[in-house]
Structure 1
């Protein structure tokens, strides 16, 4: 995807921060030497459980039975549409957050599978792709298309995925063609009229017969709509939606970088919840029904929060914190 190069004077300095009163929970060094600040806060166990359920409900895009898609190959990001020095900042941030979340990245040079494109007119860019290469958006759900093509969100994204059997054999459509094709440069979903079929050799009643994986992620950032937001924070937002199959943000979790563009935003970097969610996603079994994986996600997020000392029984520590969605 091409986009006209945009000078990033429209955004604030890359290291600027938003909000106040949020103490860093931890700072970890990436291989590039960049310091990654993860924002956290303390809360009661009851509140943590409620927020973990709310976090998963608001972010995970798959239906109740579909396994969650994640990367099974190393991530290779490319940043387009801005000057090279700014593009390098964004790519370093994505790679650094991947390291913190324990997600594999491919050393450069590599074959791009995550595209982050900056533009002054995101709807026009997506509409042009839809006209010229409709297969690239083939997996976007019909209810999500209006917002993707004509919405006013500062950031919009979509994915291509692939399905394999639990034995690692690619899903095949009934006409013999690959069921899910495409990369960041092109491709789509099912080919042909038949439903995908797979060869499976497992008789397990616990495992699913299908494993879903991400093949590409495309993130389009509208510079005009993101005006005034730090580049570093925008990069963290892009990383979050690149690493997992996220639904379009309607009401983002209040404890996530996905709330960056909310009117009362109080985040400027990936939060402890974001990192816990990503680590959990990449640690749970891939061959499980989506509803079961969501329960696993909630349990692992809570366990991670407890281990990090972010769950506290002292009610005074959470006084004044709002309930999710308020």
Structure 2
């Protein structure tokens, strides 16, 4: 684990020793981008995270989060857990007490690929919710950090999923799912064999919400060699708290770009925090495209230029 801590060397070495420098005004000079360009950048950022990319409501934590770290010494695990809780607090995500039952498990290992092969072979049900291509990437990929979620669907009023006659469930569905209805309406889930019952009337909300109830993050120590432990913890928090996808392009404005070539971001950016805060403040019972529009708007606001920093 020393390789992960090697670069956490004191921040003092990056601070000027001249007191006069600390009184200076920092002015950032560059090309002022247009509102349209900022919105495009924000839209690209949200899409790159994978959050709210579909039509279904985005999955998020409803119960308080409880991160637990395994595979490293207790003092290092405490650093990671503490950092994840800090990110949750900063983002408006409710955390459980310290002695809680874990619903987020962060595992450190020297061979993540072997761990994933073992899970796939001996406990395939843990990956059963994933599409085949995502399972293949987890098992056969070489990413320093790998993660997956368990998600349940429930009524927007908190009603649980119930079995239902498939014909009744799919009677009004055109794509296997319906999101409108009135008092006592039912929303079909998946293949139409289950329904969510909702006892309210709504024109803009969905009858179904998607809730994260477990997240697993596997960190390969060898592949993450030289990266500060705090940065790895922040990355783990980002992917655990939001239903993200592994980035397929460089992300210079996000902690999700931590492992990009030449990456310099080791803390959550304004965009990261804006995404998480907005994700947990917007209405949960809305179609994914509506939620994505709200997320993009929050990133646009977070990217507004500042003239100077005193």
TM-score w.r.t. structure 2 length? 0.80
| In structure 2, distance between residues paired with 1:170 and 1:11 | 42
- Residue number in structure 1 paired with 2:211: 213
| In structure 2, distance between residues paired with 1:293 and 1:45 | 24
Q: Secondary structure at the match of 1:85?
A: helix
1:297 and 1:63, CA in 2 relative to 1: closer, same or farther beyond 3 A? closer
- Residue number in structure 2 paired with 1:80: 70
| Higher helix proportion | 2
What are structure 1's unaligned runs of at least 5 residues?
A: 1-7, 22-39, 177-191, 318-326
Matched, 1:12 2:10: no
Q: Secondary structure at the match of 2:64?
A: coil
- Residue number in structure 1 paired with 2:84: 94
How many residues align structurally?
270
Match of 1:124 among 106, 111, 114: 114
| In structure 2, distance between residues paired with 1:158 and 1:142 | 13
Structure with larger Rg: 2
Residues 88-118 of structure 1: per-residue CA shift (max 9 Å, x gap) = 1111110111111111111110010000000
Match of 1:247 among 245, 248, 255: 245
- Residue number in structure 1 paired with 2:279: 281
Note the 1:289-300 alignment, pairs <5 A: 289-300=287-298
| In structure 2, distance between residues paired with 1:138 and 1:217 | 14
Q: Secondary structure at the match of 1:202?
A: strand
1:196 and 1:91, CA in 2 relative to 1: closer, same or farther beyond 3 A? same
- Residue number in structure 2 paired with 1:204: 202
- Residue number in structure 2 paired with 1:144: 134
Note the 1:52-71 alignment, pairs <5 A: 52-71=42-61
Residues 207-227 of structure 1: per-residue CA shift (max 9 Å, x gap) = 111111110110000011001
CA contact under 8 A between 2:80 and 2:230: conserved in structure 1?
A: yes
TM-score w.r.t. structure 1 length? 0.76
Q: CA shift at 1:168, angstroms?
A: 1.1
- Residue number in structure 1 paired with 2:144: 154
